Structure 1
Amino acid sequence: MAQPPHRPGQRDLTTGPIASALLAFALPTLGSNVLQSMNGSINAIWVGRFLGEGAIAATSNTNIIMFLMFGAVFGFGMAATILVGQSWGRRDVDSARRAFGSAIGLVIGTAIVVAALGWAFAPDILRALATPGDALPLAQTYLRVIFLGLPASMVLVLVFMGLRGTGDSLTPLWFMGLSVVLDAGLNPLLIAGLGPFPRMGIAGSATATLIANVVAVAAVAAYIHLRDLPLRLKGSELRYLLPERALVRTILAKGLPIGAQMIVISVAGLTMVGLVNRHGIETVAAYGITLQLWAYIQMPALAIGAAVSAMAAQNIGAARWDRVARITRAGLFYNVVMTGALVAAVLLFERPVFALFVGGHSPALPIARHISLIATWSFILFGATMVLFGVVRANGAVLGPLVILFVAMFPVRLGVALALKPLLGVDALWWSFPAGSAANLLLASLFYRYGGWRKGALYVPASPEPEQEAGTVLEPVGTLRPVR
């Protein structure tokens, strides 16, 4: 079978040792995730030090909202990543480009609509969250500017996901680094008006993020074109940016349930924020900085889950089902080792880390440490769930994880928070996190073992105008079936 040309950073994940390939693919993804989290934390430090605890509370409320908006378009990107990965595993480069182009077109259109609605309804959204009065004006200003940058940030994430589908986890790392350097560097300049820059307050932090994402999108697009990477679109291929009807149906059929999973998580998070907001600004600030810490702790799990999904998708596309179970076991092992080690380190050194955000004498500091002690360990369970979900999603099984997440987030997590509140007070909110994570893992394990996700295969519908390039192999992909 003809092999498409490989570029630096790309990996064929269908051959060779599994454990070492998984680790080599996951580490750059982990680096990207750590950089992204560092960016958020550095920005939170600038906001907290320049503008105070009210601004921290405002950004924590806004970040949860943006996660919800992100879920509205993230599913399209994940569906495209699965299609790209399976197409790449079959060495069908044209199908990978068609899926990627259609997803880009869908995401740009959706993000523009979401951004416009978010700008218009920002005050209503924040009031519905019971955002503290002191933080409301700041949160509204910050949220509206962040909404303006939503299209660029969504396209950047989608490009990174598509590249990982082809086995390239290094390119996203470099351009995530560019975005982080710009964002973190511009934050203090625009917040405080240093040098020739205007003093914009909390809007300056959001504007720095907007500028960084726009520059990074332009730079990575130019890089993909100049290096002729597999997902580059040029000449007649630019028509792929106008989504094909058949591809839209496929992406929507898989992407909407994945997006709904993000929305379930977001709504649960928003509900939790609403409950936390009723306990005063110190507790809100403590929860906000705890979320910053948790963003780091979940990074290994997310990186391993992404690597497992990319490896599984390529192997399913290549009909290498004998390797999929081994990929799952390797992912679970690495999650326990990496996430467990990070949880232990964080619990040992959490006081100086929390003090970076609010200072060593803030009343929010002991509250944040108490939250972390109760709930942080549950991210080991979260990581195992991400591995299992990553494998089943690689074959287009998205409804099972959606139902599992809904049950774990609402009847379990929020149910525990409300049921135990008369007995434990505010601690019931923190204990609900381990309860939800345990339920999530139990149900995900049962679905992985007994669910029907192995049947069938996801594929890119035939192009209405097939054009075969040199080095591209087009195969009857709809006939692939798993070997059990």
Structure 2
Amino acid sequence: MTEKRDAGHQDAGQPTGAKRGAAAPRDLTQGPITRTLLMFSLPTLGANILQSMNGSINTVWIGRFLGEAAIAASTNANIIMFLMFSLGFGFGMAATILIGQSMGARDIVGARRALGTGLGLFAIISILIAILGWFSAGALLHALATPPAAEKLAFIYLRVIFLGLPPMFLGLLLSMGLRGIGDAMTPLRFMLLNVILDAGLNPVLILGLGPAPRMGVAGAATATLIANYVVLFGLIAYIYAKDIPIRLKGPELRFLIPDPALLKVIVVKGVPMGFQMLVMTTSGLVMIGLINREGVDVSAAYGVAQTLWTYVQMPAMAIGAAVSAMAAQNIGAGAWDRVERITRSGVGVNLLLTGGIVALLLLFDRPALALFLGADSPAIPIARHIQFIASWSFILFGITLVLFATVRANGAVLMPLVILTLGIFGARLSFAWTFLHYGQDILWWSFPVGSCVTLALALLYYRFGNWRKQGMIARTVQAEATADGVA
């Protein structure tokens, strides 16, 4: 179904003021779905892998040069930063959905307005959090019961990391905004730049190589801060140099003042999406508490299995991001038949990629586990047993993420949060807690149980829920803004 353009809307491929030969957004409402999905999700997958590698490389530098106390310090500080990231991720996803729907409706001004409000919100929140975090870093670490041997180092590390929040949040939003208009390659390139800078500056600033001062653990945090600022300014320069349609110029800079109607949508839709990450993190902490009772070998085995599962889940997360961007543009264009086909394609691609990685992991599990534990570790047989029982459940969870991505693209964010909470706490953790007396295998079987329940509820909501009737967010907001005299 083709929608008639509203007055004042521009064609997405020909934004007002764009230069001849300027970069145009990718139209995700046309063309072959599966190929487009793959071409969109693979760069996102690459960016996710690079981000995880960056964290691992930083941990290696800190551990090799500064020892166990410094690793403990960075770990405790990173827990706090992950909570902050969860909030930013939710708001960023909400803004990205608005941008995607606006692009699908050929409403360039709406996309710019959504990005401007998101940037204004992120700037205000991140600066406030950076200031509060600088002064409350000690209290936060004390609340986490940070080991005394690591508390001083963690305090130094966390303070510097808080200063890097503004560029991290703003860079995150710009990357998600680019994906919203169909550009997944640019965020990948800038993530690669981030990794090179962060990993390269770590030993220089930690050890004080050349003219650089010897900063110890603060050097690791400073490397992250510098990389975040370089990437942010690089993204801004790229967007303006290429005249990307979501850039703001002249009178449009007023869009950086958060629009009340847009702000309401970003907050109301963003908070539940951020809480989904918190639910997963909290459940992980509870599960670790149960597993730690089984002894050190079991804990080590689970820890390594969990590390491998991080990479198993990456394809599903990348496919979910691609499905969300594609579905948002097609909802904006009123192409509901393509939305259904995008979802089915997303499920199929997830089965192919996630299923393939799970199969490889099960075939080559011993050498993969030996990389972390050593070939003769008593934890390897336990870890192999965990893998065979639980790893396949992430294929089911990947399908759930695809379904969630589609319904979120039309603004339905509360029910995915409810379903995820029921699946993880109501099914997985309740099953593990209730039947643990039958043996530790119950812990591993709780993963398939939770994934099956979550997928069943997600399928029911996708098939029979009212998410299609939620209303197109971008147009609703545009109507409210017009009614308030701010359009």
Q: Aligned ranges for residues 80-479 of structure 1 at < 5 Å?
A: 80-126=95-141, 128-129=143-144, 138-272=153-287, 290-350=305-365, 352-353=367-368, 372-425=387-440, 429-455=443-469, 456-459=471-474, 460-461=477-478, 462-463=481-482
Q: Deviations over 1:262-292 (max 9, x none)?
A: 3322333344455567778887776665544
Counterparts in 2 of 1:432 and 1:141: CA distance versus 1, 3 Å:
farther
Q: Is 1:30 aligned to residue 38 of structure 2?
A: no
Q: Is 1:3 aligned to residue 18 of structure 2?
A: no
In terms of mean alpha carbon deviation, does 276-285 or 1-10 score higher? 276-285
Q: For 2:73 and 2:451, how far apart are their aligned partners in 1?
A: 27
Counterparts in 2 of 1:368 and 1:144: CA distance versus 1, 3 Å:
farther
Q: For 2:301 and 2:141, how far apart are their aligned partners in 1?
A: 19
Q: For 2:391 and 2:137, how far apart are their aligned partners in 1?
A: 31
Q: Deviations over 1:11-67 (max 9, x none)?
A: 211112211111111111112112112212222333343345555555445444332
SS at match of 2:392: helix
Q: Residue 313 of structure 1: CA displacement?
A: 0.6
Q: Deviations over 1:164-217 (max 9, x none)?
A: 111111111111111111112122333344444344343332222221111101
Contact 2:42 2:318 in 1 (8 A): yes
Q: For 2:460 and 2:67, how far apart are their aligned partners in 1?
A: 46
Q: Residue 237 of structure 1: CA displacement?
A: 1.2
**1:449 alignment partner AA:** R
Contact 1:175 1:220 in 2 (8 A): yes
Contact 1:56 1:288 in 2 (8 A): no
Contact 2:12 2:25 in 1 (8 A): no
Residue number in structure 2 paired with 1:477: none
Q: For 2:81 and 2:291, how far apart are their aligned partners in 1?
A: 18
**1:400 alignment partner AA:** M
Q: For 1:350 and 1:145, how far apart are their aligned partners in 2?
A: 39
Counterparts in 2 of 1:40 and 1:349: CA distance versus 1, 3 Å:
farther
In terms of mean alpha carbon deviation, does 97-106 or 40-49 score higher? 40-49
**1:200 alignment partner AA:** M
SS at match of 2:410: coil
Q: Residue 69 of structure 1: CA displacement?
A: 1.7
Counterparts in 2 of 1:134 and 1:364: CA distance versus 1, 3 Å:
farther
Q: Deviations over 1:338-370 (max 9, x none)?
A: 011112223444555556567667787777666
Q: Deviations over 1:58-111 (max 9, x none)?
A: 544544433222122222111111110010001100000001110111122222
Q: For 1:365 and 1:116, how far apart are their aligned partners in 2?
A: 45
Q: Residue 407 of structure 1: CA displacement?
A: 1.3
**1:450 alignment partner AA:** F
Counterparts in 2 of 1:96 and 1:335: CA distance versus 1, 3 Å:
same
Q: For 2:34 and 2:252, how far apart are their aligned partners in 1?
A: 36
Q: Deviations over 1:284-327 (max 9, x none)?
A: 77666554433322211111101111111111100001111111
Q: For 1:303 and 1:63, how far apart are their aligned partners in 2?
A: 23
Q: For 1:365 and 1:136, how far apart are their aligned partners in 2?
A: 33
Q: Residue 388 of structure 1: CA displacement?
A: 0.3
Aligned residues between the structures: 466
RMSD: 3.1
Q: For 1:214 and 1:310, how far apart are their aligned partners in 2?
A: 26
Q: For 2:268 and 2:432, how far apart are their aligned partners in 1?
A: 33
Q: For 2:112 and 2:333, how far apart are their aligned partners in 1?
A: 18
Q: Deviations over 1:411-441 (max 9, x none)?
A: 223323433444435x655544333323222
Q: Residue 119 of structure 1: CA displacement?
A: 4.4
Counterparts in 2 of 1:282 and 1:113: CA distance versus 1, 3 Å:
farther
TM-score (normalised: structure 2)? 0.85
Contact 1:132 1:277 in 2 (8 A): no
Which runs of no fewer than 5 residues in structure 1 stay unpaired? 468-484
Which runs of no fewer than 5 residues in structure 2 stay unpaired? 15-21
In terms of mean alpha carbon deviation, does 79-88 or 100-109 score higher? 100-109
Task: Report % sequence identity.
Answer: 60
Counterparts in 2 of 1:151 and 1:350: CA distance versus 1, 3 Å:
farther
SS at match of 1:298: helix
In terms of mean alpha carbon deviation, does 412-421 or 364-373 score higher? 364-373
